[in-house]
Structure 1
Amino acid sequence: MSVSLYYCASRTVPPTAAEAAALERVVAARAASFPYPDEESLFLYEDGGSEPDEIVAGSTKVPFDPDRVLPVVAHVLDSVTELRRALPGARWRVHLDDLDVPWDEDEGYALPGMRDAEPFA
């Protein structure tokens, strides 16, 4: 059974050229810093998403390796946090299958309890 993170942003106004460039920079930087080249990382769908007004949408399959689950989830949620901050005024939904991932204005996205966990080596 696979588990995936899903993320999408909706807004009636499409991204400006500056916002689109910022999104591209975030995606490139986060891809370059992803620790596991053989695992799925941040993945954005072409043309936003399938829902009306979706301007960004994507998903990431969570790895089966228990030692990689939390580092991958943390990296992707940090990536989505940066994307959200690059698109002011968008309505975001981030969830791990049926579990909504909460937003914290200061800390960004994280699963409950992840902020208190020990950092991984």
Structure 2
Amino acid sequence: MSVSLYYSARRTEPLTAEETAAVDRIAAARLASFPYADEEPLHLYDSGGRDAGQVLAGSTRLPAAPDRLLPVIGHVLDSVTELRRALPDAAWHVHLDDLDVDWDERAGYGLPGMRDAGLLAELDGL
């Protein structure tokens, strides 16, 4: 069974050329810094894969390996945080299958324990 992280932004106006360029820059930079070549990184759908009114949407299938799960979640949620800050006037929805991921103005998107060094070390030992 696989678990995925889904992210989308909605608004009535389409992205401007400047916003599209910002999204492309963020996605390229985050892809270049993704820690695992054999796992799925941030994946944005092209316009044909989005619902009406969505200006951005994507998903990431999460790894089954416990030692890779939190680093991938952290990297992708940090990526989505950057995207949201580039498109602040959109209505965002980020969820891990049926679990909504909350937004924090200061910290961005995150899950409890996601950056807990002890938990990461424990998972790395599995």
TM-score normalised by structure 1 residue count:
0.93
Q: Where in structure 1 are there 5+ consecutive unaligned residues?
A: none
1:22-76 Cα offsets, whole Å, 9 max, x none, are 0000000000000101000000001075322101000000001110000000000
Q: Where in structure 2 are there 5+ consecutive unaligned residues?
A: 122-126
Q: Structure 1 residue runs of 4+, over 2 Å off?
A: 48-52, 112-115
Q: Which residue of 2 aligns with 1:103?
A: 103
Q: Which has the larger radius of gyration?
A: 2
Q: Which residue of 2 aligns with 1:76?
A: 76
> How many residues were matched structurally?
120
Give the secondary-structure state (helix, strand or coil) at the position aligned to 1:81. Answer: helix
Q: Which residue of 1 aligns with 2:64?
A: 64
Which of the two has greater helix per residue? 2
1:72-113 Cα offsets, whole Å, 9 max, x none, are 000000000000011121000000000000000010000123
Matches within 5 A, 1:1-121: 1-47=1-47, 49-115=49-115, 117-118=116-117
Whether contact under 8 Å (1:94, 1:101) holds in the other structure is yes
TM-score normalised by structure 2 residue count:
0.90
The separation in 1 between residues aligned to 2:52 and 2:13, in whole angstroms, is 11
